[in-house]
Amino acid sequence: MKIAIAQINPTVGNLTGNSNLILEAAQKAASAGANLLITPELCLLGYPPRDLLSVPSFIAAAGEKLHQLAQDLPPDLATIVGTATPNTNAVKQGGKALFNSGVLLEGGKVKQIFHKRLLPTYDVFDEDRYFEPGETSGYFNIGELKIGVTICEDLWNNEEFWGKRSYAGDPIADLVKLGVDLVVNLSASPYCASKRQVRSAMLQNSAQRCALPIVYANQVGGNDDIIFDGSSFAINRNAQLIRVLASFKTDFAIVKYDETKGDLMGDSLHNESAIQDAPLSFDPPEGDAEIWEALVLGVQDYVRKCGFYRVVLGLSGGIDSALVAAIASCAIGPQNVLGVLMPSPYSSDHSVNDALELAKNLGIAIEMLPIGDLMKGFDRALADLFIDTTFGIAEENLQSRIRGNLLMAISNKFGHLLLSTGNKSEMAVGYCTLYGDMNGGLSVISDVPKTRVYSLCNWLNSGGSALKLPANGEIIPRNIISKAPSAELKPGQIDQDSLPPYDILDDILRRLIEEHESIAQIVAAGHDEAVVKRTVQLVMRAEFKRRQAAPGLKISDRAFGTGWRMPIAKAAFY
């Protein structure tokens, strides 16, 4: 038997477009002689649909589209589609109105419906807000073959792997009791760095402990701040990877189930001997290459799915805006990227020259808008009010806000999406200006620490990306990487005037934000107590800024976005 995996990139709410993606994959599967097609979780709606699930007309339209899709699919192909289905007992039993379901379509009809049992309510997930959990696990038959159905989190409750049980019940163990031969999983598992390896290791552990092959179909693409890497795969009952689909790209694959051996088999690309001799792995590998691909996909899909065609960003001659410009150029083409230089009297000549060289290397258009005269106008307007005060943060931030206004004017006039360029280290400690450099429709690297920004730029210059290296061999001019980072809002300013060195700062932030360590634990790890306390204070005070920031692409376990729900008004607690 042949099983097709459709790793598709749905758009939230686009029922017709998503249905067409499923139909295209089904036609390809039927042409290849497949018996079964697996699609990602909620792929008819797009994941995550969030409060669209609370709109009755949207749910009704999704139901109509599902039945239409059933009639349009190849009649001899069994297809499992991820969608939301009504909970008919919700009013009587007081439950949620919907289930997160996998629906089996075959012969023009809805044959069976399977409900997700384990509903995640952590980080970016809020499924308990919308869905009623399924009570039992189920399977369907193709011939004599029993195929168990699970949805995403249903396979993440593995006590042996995690060391403790996070939910009541174990869907895969229940399927073993039902005597299934194979497990399929419809998934929309978001990306974070190194998650592909964790995901495959966890499912391999499940396959091994239950002696069942697993076919895993994951969504790919960016939806708002969340990136889905795809990286679907199939595992045989011995926990060997027999097929791995592309990461950060749409993909399609066929795997074969041998009824006589009761297991998934390698195909012509990965036969059984290849499994033994050359274990499959994910491409690109972990590290800078993986993060780069995620950010490029995130920008590409945010631009496309929000209806934009071009982007604009401020180029300061610094490393953060250089990296964002490179990501945007790769995502939507350099011809669709506009960089704007807005030098002030405090901008160094080398920063302007560095920005011009970067633009030339990337092949992007550039505009120069000096802000000196605008600064003088603000100074005159505020002169009486600011009399007898000294130059300080207010005047520094005015420069950033002037630049933000100019960029927003360009965005409004020409319909370009404004990309903001602040990194995670700055966002964490509030080293950013509301209504200034924080302006934008998408914050590209707000989950990328400063140290990783440097690493990515060095990786780019090594030729790791699809961007063409210029004649001098460096996409990011060497001076941008080597010079001390500075906002250049006053003479001689550098970031380390007010922040610890970034290698120290980033380690403190990682321990605080991602590892949830206390001040005492961070100090015990070797950091200066005063520096740690000051950093924690900055993080807590900057919450009001982060609440007003543009959506930022998530690449870590703990990003300042959908999954970050810290109060603004709070007492110190570390």
Calpha distance 12→52 (Å, rounded): 9
Calpha distance 544→426 (Å, rounded): 14
Q: Which of 65, 96, 116, 545 is catalytic?
A: 116
Q: Is residue 249 annotated as a catalytic residue, yes or no?
A: no
Residue 188 in contact with residue 155, Cβ under 8 Å?
A: no
Which residue from 221, 183, 216 is spatially nearest to 199, judged by alpha carbons? 216
Q: Three-state secondary structure along 125-192?
A: CCHHHCECCCCCCEEEEECCEEEEEEEHHHHCCCHHHHCCCCCCCCHHHHHHHCCCCEEEEEECCECC
3-state secondary structure of 373: helix
Which residue from 337, 323, 306 is spatially nearest to 224, judged by alpha carbons? 306
Residue 334 per-residue DSSP state: G
Q: Is residue 41 annotated as a catalytic residue, yes or no?
A: yes
Q: Is residue 152 annotated as a catalytic residue, yes or no?
A: yes
Which residue from 48, 150, 45, 43 is spatially nearest to 554, judged by alpha carbons? 48
For residue 95, give the amino acid letter.
G
Q: Which of 65, 106, 152, 330 is catalytic?
A: 152
Give the DSSP H or E segment for 114: strand 109-115
Residue 480 in contact with residue 317, Cβ under 8 Å?
A: yes
DSSP string, 14-80: -HHHHHHHHHHHHHHHHHTT-SEEE--TTTTT-S--GGGGG-HHHHHHHHHHHHHHHHHS-TT-EEE
3-state secondary structure of 374: helix
Q: Which residues are catalytic?
A: 41, 116, 152
